[in-house]
Amino acid sequence: MSSDPFIIAGKTMASRLFVGSARYPSQQVMLDAMAASNPCMVTMSIRRISLEGYAESLVDLLGDRYPILPNTAGCVTARDAVLTAELAREALDTNWIKLELIGDRELLYPDVEQLVHAADELVRKGFVVLPYCNDDPVTCRKLADVGCSAVMPLGSLIGSGRGVANPGAIELICARSPVPVVLDAGIGTASDAALAMELGCDAVMVDTAIAKSHDPVRMAGAMKAAVEAGRLARLAGRIPKRNMAEPSSPQLGLVGT
């Protein structure tokens, strides 16, 4: 929607949907799903990218079609995350990075202390930092304060498909954040993506919900439509919730009155 641009770090995005590149049953299904979803960026783990640029690498497959957003998935220390980001910038010629810094291997929750430290260092090194973080308005504000260009709070546990577990917190983050908010992790189906947008998120990140669905291409199209519908609903404004019914037709003119 040209009248409703989505901008991060001065860059106008082609859509409000980020998609991942992992877990697809085949490369062709991945490519078809990308075409159906029209992502603004495609995330890739640096660990899955060949730095030698061999034929049929993910970069070769997708780099000419969609902007690539490398991520630091798997990093557990600020030092490793910063080093991984620097390798990505050198190999892919981009200063954009999705910063992931995990504090618990089982829950895949962020290590907030190290995350803020790494974000601060990367911003000072000239990166456009998009950090995956917990659904906490205070954490999101700290990340914005050190210069992150957007924040990516989790909806629920990565890969869980539980949707937006704490909608009140996400709505608070959206209302208070000085930078764009991208819901990241936990999306299970299209209605989850629509809800995130209705709560005020600027965009949604989806990977497993598309790649592991029974029909990834069809689900990719559903996610595209859900993000667009959720954004339109947010802009239109929902009616207030009421405790009692309110007739949609006026009482005046009824037979017998």
Residues known to be catalytic? 98
With beta carbons less than 8 A apart as the criterion, state whether 148 and 177 touch: no
Degrees, nearest 5: CA angle 5-6-9: 120
Helix axes 78-92, 112-124, angle to 10 degrees: 40
* Cα 53 from Cα 90, distance rounded (Å): 12
* Cα 74 from Cα 55, distance rounded (Å): 25
Q: Are strands 68-71 and 152-153 parallel, antiparallel or unpaired?
A: unpaired
Rg (CA), the chain: 20
With beta carbons less than 8 A apart as the criterion, state whether 89 and 120 touch: no
**Residue by residue, what is the 3-state secondary structure of 46-115?**
HHHCCCCCCCCCHHHHHCCCCCEEEECCCCCCHHHHHHHHHHHHHHHCCCEEEECCECCCCCCCECHHHH
* Cα 84 from Cα 62, distance rounded (Å): 20
* Cα 227 from Cα 233, distance rounded (Å): 10
Helix, strand, or coil (residue 237) = coil
